[in-house]
Amino acid sequence: LFAQNCEFLWAADKSDGLPPMGPLEIAFAGRSNVGKSSLLNALTTRRTLARTSHTPGRTQNLNFFDLGPDAQNPLLRLVDMPGYGYAAVSKEKIANWTRLMKDFLRGRASLARVFVLIDGRHGVKDVDREMLTLLDQAALSYQIVLTKRDEVKKSAVETTLDEARAVLRKNPAAHPEVIFLSSHTGEGVSDLREAIVKLVSE
Ligand code: GTP
Ligand code: MG
């Protein structure tokens, strides 16, 4: 699947600007700077497909990418979301992103799963819990992905995983398997690929 072509399809900055539903979709959500866009690039082996940045708040739209043999036959659509929990942009902008994200998450029949990215160095924050609750309320399938594994000491990996699994016990709608990966070294990325392939073939 991930050897297929992946092309940018669409950017939406408001709810009525979403692309028509097409193939099955998966979305990447998470706090600003957790590595959503980097993961999209790592997954597709297209290093520069989604724009990444050291500065939080890089991705400001819902960006849609289609994966498939050609543009007419997409097999899977990847959705890169703006980060949440970033205080240094205007209140108006935050309100706009939040509305866009909520509208998208609540009303998208083709959305098969939301991968909620959490920075492996920092663990689960209150804004993450709010996101998980929102996904629970929207009755969406979602799964936690811990990022930046290369920055986490080997001895801390299990503790971080346990902490994330403990959160899931309070959010029973979530997929029970937590993935811990690094987009920089590629470690763990195949676990996510497998989870996605499973979704597509279901
Ligand atoms: P927003 O679009 O602002 O919400 O950010 P994002 O979640 O898309 O993060 P992005 O992919 O732009 O990455 C943010 C920073 O984290 C960049 O400096 C990346 O190089 C870095 N980063 C991403 N993935 C990894 C990783 O696996 N390991 C390490 N060490 N750094 C990473
Ligand atoms: Mg981004």
Which listed ligand is nearest to 146 at the C-alpha? 1
State the residue for tokens 């609750």.
133
Q: Which of 48, 51, 52 to mutate to test the pocket of ligand 1 (most atoms within 8 A of CB)?
A: 52
Statement: the pTM of the whole predicted model exceeds 0.90 = yes
Q: Going edge to edge, which strands form the sheet with 179-180? A: 5-12, 62-68, 76-80, 25-30, 111-119, 142-147, 179-180
Distance 35 CA to ligand 2 centre (A): 7
Q: Place 170 in a pLDDT band, splitting at 50, 70 and 90.
A: confident
Q: Give the per-residue pLDDT at 110.
A: 96
Atom of ligand 1 nearest to the CA of 117: 7
> What distances in angstroms separate CA 25 from CA 61, 64, 67, 88, 137, one per listed residue?
16, 9, 10, 30, 19
- Going along the chain from its start, the domains and CATH numbers come out as 5-201 (3.40.50.300)
Q: For the purposes of burial, counting CB atoms within 10 Å of the CB of 120, is it exposed (0-12), middle (13-18) or buried (19 or more)?
A: buried
At 21-75, the pLDDT tens digits run: 999 999 999 999 999 999 999 998 677 788 888 887 777 889 999 999 988 999 9
Q: Atom 24 of ligand 1 has which residue's CA nearest to it?
A: 35
Average pLDDT of the residues in 124-144 = 93
Per-residue DSSP letter, 31:
B
Q: What is the ipTM of this complex?
A: 0.99
Q: Higher-confidence residue: 94 or 175?
A: 175
Which range (89-93, 108-112, 164-168, 181-185) has the least confidence? 89-93
Name every residue whose Cβ is closer than 8 Å to that of residue 166 and which is 6 or more positions away in sequence: none
| Residue ranges lining ligand 1, Cβ < 6 Å | 30, 32-38, 52-54, 56-59, 82-83, 147-148, 150-151, 182-184
Average pLDDT of the residues in 151-165 = 96
pLDDT above 70 covers what percent of the chain? 99
Q: Higher-confidence residue: 121 or 106?
A: 121
Atom of ligand 1 nearest to the CA of 59: 2
Residues with CB under 5 A from ligand 2 (ion): 36-37, 58-59
Q: Place 131 in a pLDDT band, splitting at 50, 70 and 90.
A: very high
**pLDDT above 90 (res 156):** yes
